[in-house]
Structures are given as structure tokens and as C-alpha cells.
Amino acid sequence: MEYRKYNIRLLSVLGGVLVFTGILNYFVNPFNAFPQNQSLLNRVRPGIHRQERLTKQMEIRNLKSCDTIFIGTSRVDFSLPYDYYQKITGKRALNLGLEKSDFSEHKYMIYKALKYLPDIKTVLIEVDFDFSYNLQESETGSLENYDRDGLHNYTSLLLSADALGASFKTLFKSLNKGYNKGYLQNGVKAVYHNKNIEHQFDETIEQYKSTGLNYAPQPDLTLLKHLVKDLNKKGVSVILVLQPLHTTMYEVVKQNGAWDKVETFKKELAKIQPFYDFYYPSEYSNEEISPDMKYFFESSHCTYLLGEKILDKIFLDKGGYGYLVRSDNVEILNTQHRKALEKWEKENPQLVERIRQIRENGI
């Protein structure tokens, strides 16, 4: 009898913990998966991207209409604000950028969005040199699984340790005003003072230090060509974009002897259709590395402030940043950008040497 009472008490405690966890995660809503309004509890959501392969599919199903989708890696996710797009165009956009995603995942998300949102007229696709040089089909099971098990999805959002940890982090940073400037409401990292910025740059350079090494002489963009053709047949306009990196990343590619492959990549991409190019040394990509950077928070990801300039160029043809690259101007622009990188190297010999040391010896 005593064992039965003990078991009942234990189950009651466990049940209470589960109920408390579910209620807390629902109202804090750290992944922005439920329709709660912003409040003191979730003014910022630093963990919003931790389950984005699930939550972004939920957002597709929950939207009633959408004109445009942005698709790509975290470089798109962090930098292209859909609220700014709506401000300048009056149209609704959905940012489906996913961290460490590949072409097959992008294609899967595009067709899923078209299935649930047939009024989509425009798809903006990120086509970065280091992720897209040779496109290949890959498994999309991690995305497909979310369609198979709805109960598991909600368990992951409401009862998992990951969700609980994200809720506590959201609460802590939302209630502490000193952290509020770190993130925007949609989870995009905002401009903020970062005293460790140099170390973050070094870490990213080390992460991508092999970019361009052992790449084939010619890129293979066949899969992208077929995707663009099929979307056009469906009446969907496709915008291809090369996202910006900090010039330190271009220098990595240059030191790896692969800048000519960047130029070849752009020539082949222009054969598919004209594309918007932000992948070159510019006044923004050349931004001095400092704790108060405006346009980059490490060498591989730009902030939403630069993302707004990207959207201005693409949808308003406004501002002097970015180029619409075609087969008839790609050679001229390639020469211009090569000279710009050489000029940056002459002006930043210490950074050039620092990148060389990281490539050869690590941090």
C-alpha cells in the first residue's frame, strides 16, 4: 500500500512538472510557434532559431496568404527582414532561411510553400559561392518527418528540455533590459556592442578556412537551372542573390587560390538568368572590425541593416550597393571586384597576414 501511495505521489509530481513546463513554454513561446502577442515575457527570443525546421513549416501552414518567400541559409535568415520588405512594397514576405541548410532543403521548402500558399508570385533564392558551387541532391528527411508526426511536434515545442531551456533564456533576456538590444522580436540579431568581436571573426575565418580548396574547375548548377525553369513554368518569378560576406572571407578564398573560381561561378550563374550580386569588396564588406560594427556581427553574416540595403536594391532599384549581373557585364564586374580586393589587401596588410596565420595554424 505504501508503495502505491509513493507511486501516485511520484506520478503526480511528474505530471505537475509536465503541466507546468507545457504552460510555461506555451506562454513564453520562445520559438514564436504560437499566436501570443509580444509581452514582457518574450520581448526578445534568442532561441527562436533552435527549432526553425519545424516552426517555419508551421508558419507556412498557418499563413493565409503570402506574395514572396526568401529562401537560403542563416545568411538570409539573419539579414532579410520581412517587415521591412512589407514596408517598402506593401506585400507580405516569409523568410524561410534555415541554418546550415542545402539546396534540397531549399527546394523542399519552396514547393511546400507553394502548396499551402498558391498566391506566391516571387521566390528569392540565395546562391552563395561556398554552398552552391556544385549542387547535389540530398536527404530531406529531417523536414519531412515534421509532416508525419504532429503530436511529436507539439511535444518538442511544449515539453522538451530544449524548449524549457529556451524559455528560461527568453525570460532572462527579456526581463533584463541590458540584453534587450541584442535581438529583434523576430529573433534577428540586432546591432549591439560586442567586445569579443575580433575573436568571433577569427572563429568564423577558421570555420571557413578551406572555402575554395579542391573545387572542380567548373561549377555544376544544373539543379538550380531546372528549379528556376520549373518555377517559371508555374508563373513564379525567381530572384537569384549572392549574399554579402565581410571582405576577410573573400581574402580566405583568394589565399586559397580560388578567386578565379568565384568569377567562373558568377559567369555560369548569369547564364541561368541575371542575378543580384553583393558578394564583393564594398564599403560595407570592408567595414572595420570593431565592437560597434553596424553591418556584420562576424565575417560570414551581415546584419539586418545591410539586409535593408539589399532589399532596397532588389525591389526598389535604389541605392548604390549591389549589381544586377548579366552575361554581358559579368566580365567587367569580375575585373572590377578583383581590383577592389587587391586594393583592400594593400590597405590591410595586418589583416591579410592574420588570415594567413589562421588558415595555416588555426586560432
Contacts 24+ apart (CB under 8 A), 138-141: 138/102, 138/103, 138/104, 138/105, 139/104, 140/104, 140/105, 140/108
Query: Across the chain, which distance is largest between two alpha carbons, in Å?
Result: 86
* 241, 125 contact by CB (below 8 A): yes
pLDDT for 214: 92
Q: What is the CA angle 95-160-36, rounded to 5? A: 50
The pLDDT tens digits for 159-198 are 888 988 898 888 888 887 766 566 665 566 666 678 889 9
Question: What amino acid occupies position 20?
Answer: F
pLDDT in tens, the chain (363 residues): 566 766 677 677 777 778 888 888 888 888 888 876 677 778 788 888 888 999 999 889 888 899 999 999 999 999 999 999 999 999 999 999 999 999 999 999 999 999 999 999 999 999 999 999 999 999 888 888 877 666 677 788 888 889 888 988 888 888 877 665 666 655 666 666 788 899 999 999 999 999 999 999 999 999 999 999 999 999 999 999 999 999 999 999 999 999 999 999 999 999 999 999 999 999 999 999 999 899 998 999 999 999 999 999 999 999 899 999 999 999 999 999 999 999 999 999 999 999 999 999 988
Give the containing element (helix H, strand E) for 297. strand 296-298
The pLDDT tens digits for 132-164 are 999 999 988 888 887 766 667 778 888 888 988
pLDDT for 188: 64
Place of cell 565581410: 246
Q: What is the DSSP string of 22-51?
A: HHHHHHH-TT--S-PPP-TT-S--TTTTTT
Q: Which of 69, 75, 64, 72 lies closest to 236 in space, CA to CA?
A: 69
Predicted TM-score (pTM) of the model is: 0.91
pLDDT for 154: 79
Task: Please report which residue ranges of the chain form alpha helices under DSSP H.
Answer: 2-28, 52-62, 74-79, 82-89, 103-116, 129-132, 141-148, 150-158, 161-175, 197-207, 222-233, 247-255, 259-272, 304-316, 330-347, 349-361
Residue-range domain boundaries for the chain: 40-361
* φ and ψ at residue 301, rounded to 5 degrees: -130, 130
